[in-house]
Amino acid sequence: MNFESVKKYIKEAGLPNFRIGQVREAIFKKGISSWDEATSLPAQLREQLKKDCPLLSFEVTEITCSRQDKVAKALLTLKDGWRIETVLLKPQDTWSVCVSSQVGCPLRCSFCSTGKMGFKRDLTQEEITDQVLMWYQYVKREKLGERISSVVFMGMGEPLLNYLNVIKAAKDLSDPDYLNIGARHISVSTSGIADKLHKLAVDLPQANLAVSLHNADNAERSQIMPVNRKYDLDDLKKALEEYIAMTGRQVFLEYSVIENVNSRPEHIRKLADWIYSIKDNYLLHVNLIACNLGRGEKTDERVVKDFAAGLKAMGIGVTIRKSMGNDILAACGQLASQKKKEGL
């Protein structure tokens, strides 16, 4: 929903300004799924808006709900036929949305389903924000109670390679006149695009930063994350030191534990040594997750717990994140639907 275009449409139609407020209330407060539900507007205007100003910039093709967790995944078909996925989840007491920023991903991380599909294009600012608006409509329509309180850029794609649209989307989402999601409740996850972290600290100083690390050995990280060949651990270290100095914010290091790949005692030691080499490392916190291996399989929880215990013994702050939505392929690294709609 490009609300600026709706405002322009109303003004050019010569309608009174209070109609803009009514439209804003209908979309961002009541969460209407159809212009027919905007009953405060004249019927003729509703019909015109239905024709000229669609509420969403894509088609909601399918919504799948988990039987195990409070998780739902949506398959969205974009106007050019490409398909993406987005996730609604409730890890604690409030709803969170995991948004995609690209169709596919150019980084080709070996453990990520999206990365294996290649890159098609960046999502527009509107296509990103509409993912959250779509879930807001869903929460209202299904009477799920609480509002959406947080957004994480952890879906398909590398957010910092679609930098301008991601920044614009994040600012829109936190706008009090839009969905009013607090800036500190917006998280950006990156595979380590080191030369963008300075700009991120300037443009979104209150947002949360998560870095997908997954290995603290340069050679091994390059094997599972080819991005490390361009931005290695030394580059990332310098960028994180600058980011922390500029923002004073905690940074989360994401680490998917893959048994016999990055789970051994030497990996624990190298990770701890790398963290301790960073200035103000007390602001770094490790999030561990059992890697989703496909076919419903994931790293044994015992391996993850042993890894966490090893880090704690070395004085590193660590949390084991619960993997949610595995039964509908909605967990970390599992989003993968970019296939074009037939006939397009």
φ/ψ of 32, rounded to 5, equals -60, 145
Radius of gyration of the chain (CA): 21
- Are 110 and 5 in contact by the 8 Å Cβ rule? The answer is no
Interatomic CA distance for residues 335 and 160, integer angstroms = 18
Buried b (16+ CB within 10 A) or exposed e, 299-331: beeebbeebbebbeeeebbbebbebbbbebbbb
E strands present in 194-249: 208-212
Interatomic CA distance for residues 110 and 147, integer angstroms = 35
φ/ψ of 309, rounded to 5, equals -65, -40
3-state secondary structure of 172: helix
Active site residues: 85, 332
- Are 38 and 23 in contact by the 8 Å Cβ rule? The answer is yes
- Our measurement of the distance from residue 92's CA atom to the centroid of its chain's CA atoms, rounded to an integer in Å, reads 17
Interatomic CA distance for residues 2 and 30, integer angstroms = 17
Q: What is the DSSP string of 236-251?
A: HHHHHHHHHHHH---E
- Are 342 and 312 in contact by the 8 Å Cβ rule? The answer is no
